[in-house]
Structure 1
Amino acid sequence: MSRSTVRTGSDTCAVFRRDGRGNLDAVGLNFNGWGRKQAHRDDAEVAWSVAEFNGIAFSEAEFVGEGGSIETDGDGTVLATESSLVNKNRNRGLSRDSIEEAVLAAYGAEKMIWVPGVRGRDITDNHIDVTSRFVRPGVVLVQLPPDDRNDVWARDARQQYAILSTATDAKGRRLQVIRVDGPDHVRSRSSTFVDLYLNFHLVNGAVITAQFGDARTDAAARRTLAEAFPGREVIQLDVDRLMGDGGGIHCSTMHQPVP
């Protein structure tokens, strides 16, 4: 079971964790304004404030990142883009190996799968949660662009798909990669628009995702998500105003397990 709130957001809020005995705590990822791209003094206080409000033990990770920069299967494996975390605007002076060690410690994980990502083209330096998402251990969704697109984001998505299609997880399982086709057209004319179905949020009994007005791909994405998450209703919302600013549904929410 989970509950969420849009006032904290996955990037600024704490990441909630359970240990093997079911105890709940929270870890902060030292939010620094997505690599000091904006004023963030108050935002940096969100993680510990939420933990304190809920009476949950809080600690800080040994790296700088955001909730949307790391995807976990909850069974020992995490995904991330190098462009976001192995970046001097967040983790100056730290090697990829050092960052990986810190991420694994914070998430209680055993294996990290890196994809190169896209550096310096958006505020997040290409968070993993817009393109590749775990369904459950051993199964991951990846959104691919129309065949006629060859921009930097399209090339990145295809690269993520190729890497994950040959990857194994912490338990040695070859990942099953489920393809989701992106829309051919969208309503928005914003240059920062996020046209991704996979920036979804899971709530009790449902998957909250976007629709873009492309009837064919909207319906196909809905079917794919329904098959990937049996027993959950797939709810598609017109969130063009949110996604027009470069964010999305998952960017604006954070899961919080019931104590």
Structure 2
Amino acid sequence: MKPGEKANAAGFRMIAEWRPHAACWIAWPKSEPTFGDTLGEARRECADVVRAIARFEPVCLLHDPDSHDGIEVLREVDGVELIACPLDDSWLRDSGPTFVSRPDGAIAGIDWTFDGWGGLYPHERDDNVARFIIERAGAARFRSEMVFEGGALSVDDCGTVLITQQCFEHRTRNGGPDRAEFEAELAQQLGARKVIWLKRSLEGDSTNGHVDVVAAFSAPGEVVVQTSDDPSDPDYGNLLENKAILESETDADGRPLRVCTVTSPPVRRKPDGARRMMSYINFYIANGGVVVPQYGFDDADAAALARLRGAFPDREVVGVLTPRIADAGGNIHCITQQQPLPETPDA
């Protein structure tokens, strides 16, 4: 790797999340400012997520050396490795690396600049997490000076990227790359050939526009998108617009997208009026499985699982109750990061 070289120039690209994984990286919930008095419940939910994913693939569980209460329940779980690492928070999709791979079997990680979602939260230690994981994985490292997070994108396997205009505008409100420069960095680091721009994510999204709560690629030429059947939902029109954009688009190879809709959970609010951040799209695709957030709504939860079983017919789709993680602003996709298996010539 040459100094200043971008990943794609070295032959790397980001492959789809449904490709085989070597491991799933997760961070144990730590931040009391994030979880408040629900930290213990969030840790129990995280443990359930870890157990669910470990049925399908190895889990590397990071924990802050000074804040790991409750983690002992996972020490004897098959396929789970506990790894000490200084942390600020647990949203590893954003603070961790975005892995890329090369046809010769090489693996690398993109180390984006992480600023705590625009300075909303402490991030000094979390900005070092990507480097830690990349080194632990024995991968090459490509540093990007662009402020970006893994939850802001979804990719297919031919260089198509989903992102929201909302997220881009928030990241560049005080200067930064223009749209052409932004797309160029995605091309140079991830091998992106086409960017599909949705408008925004969900009301009250503390990440200011991450796409992984509203839409995700599920197979070549196929995408799942969250919609609402409640016209009083503040996101009703926005979600329909996201769906319409996707239905009018093609992937980087020119194929029209097949769109599968998943109905939102019912709108619920916290005592302060803030919306509870609930999405069924914030799932994790594992080797042979899909692990999906559930919220305790019997009918809505079951309907979402049924729709996703249709979108992933060759995988076991399982639900895990994660309402406390949701109340903190994210969910299963947000706390996970897949490390792909090395590619092979016929992969």
Q: TM-score, normalised by structure 2?
A: 0.69
Give the AA of the match of 1:10: R
CA deviation string 1:19-57 (max 9, x = no partner): 232321111121111111122111100111110112110
**In the alignment, structure 1 residue 157 sits paired with structure 2 residue 239:** yes
Comparing 217-226 with 39-48, greater Cα deviation is found at 217-226
Partner of 1:5: 25
Judge conservation of contact 1:30–1:64 (CA < 8 Å) in 2: yes
Partner of 1:25: 108
Q: Distance in 2 between matches of 1:192 and 1:49?
A: 34
- Match of 1:87, SS state, is helix
**In the alignment, structure 1 residue 53 sits paired with structure 2 residue 136:** yes
Q: Which of the numbers 264, 271, 282 marks the counterpart of 1:182?
A: 264
Given the superposition, is the C-alpha separation of residues 188 and 74 from structure 1 closer, same or farther in structure 2, using an over 3 Å criterion? farther
Give the AA of the match of 1:156: N
- Match of 2:243, SS state, is helix
Task: Give the aligned length.
Answer: 258
Judge conservation of contact 1:14–1:28 (CA < 8 Å) in 2: yes
Judge conservation of contact 2:163–2:196 (CA < 8 Å) in 1: yes
Q: Distance in 1 between matches of 2:231 and 2:237?
A: 11
Tell me by how many angstroms 1:185 deviates. 5.8
- Match of 1:97, SS state, is helix
Partner of 1:64: 147
Aligned-residue Cα RMSD (Å) equals 2.2
Structure 1 unmatched runs, 5+ = none
Partner of 1:115: 198
Tell me by how many angstroms 1:212 deviates. 2.1
Q: Distance in 1 between matches of 2:125 and 2:219?
A: 34
Tell me by how many angstroms 1:65 deviates. 0.7
Tell me by how many angstroms 1:82 deviates. 1.5
Partner of 2:336: 253
Given the superposition, is the C-alpha separation of residues 110 and 185 from structure 1 closer, same or farther in structure 2, using an over 3 Å criterion? closer
**In the alignment, structure 1 residue 146 sits paired with structure 2 residue 234:** no
Partner of 1:221: 304
Partner of 2:287: 204
Judge conservation of contact 2:167–2:208 (CA < 8 Å) in 1: yes
| Structure of higher CA gyration radius | 2
Matched-pair identity in %: 34
Partner of 1:124: 207
Given the superposition, is the C-alpha separation of residues 210 and 118 from structure 1 closer, same or farther in structure 2, using an over 3 Å criterion? closer
Given the superposition, is the C-alpha separation of residues 11 and 25 from structure 1 closer, same or farther in structure 2, using an over 3 Å criterion? same
Q: Distance in 1 between matches of 2:322 and 2:295?
A: 8
Judge conservation of contact 1:64–1:91 (CA < 8 Å) in 2: no
Q: TM-score, normalised by structure 1?
A: 0.92
- Match of 2:26, SS state, is coil
Partner of 1:170: 252
Judge conservation of contact 1:132–1:142 (CA < 8 Å) in 2: yes
Given the superposition, is the C-alpha separation of residues 78 and 25 from structure 1 closer, same or farther in structure 2, using an over 3 Å criterion? same
Judge conservation of contact 2:111–2:144 (CA < 8 Å) in 1: yes
Tell me by how many angstroms 1:255 deviates. 0.6
Q: Distance in 2 between matches of 1:217 and 1:101?
A: 40
CA deviation string 1:67-98 (max 9, x = no partner): 00011002110010121123355772321111
Q: Distance in 2 between matches of 1:118 and 1:211?
A: 19
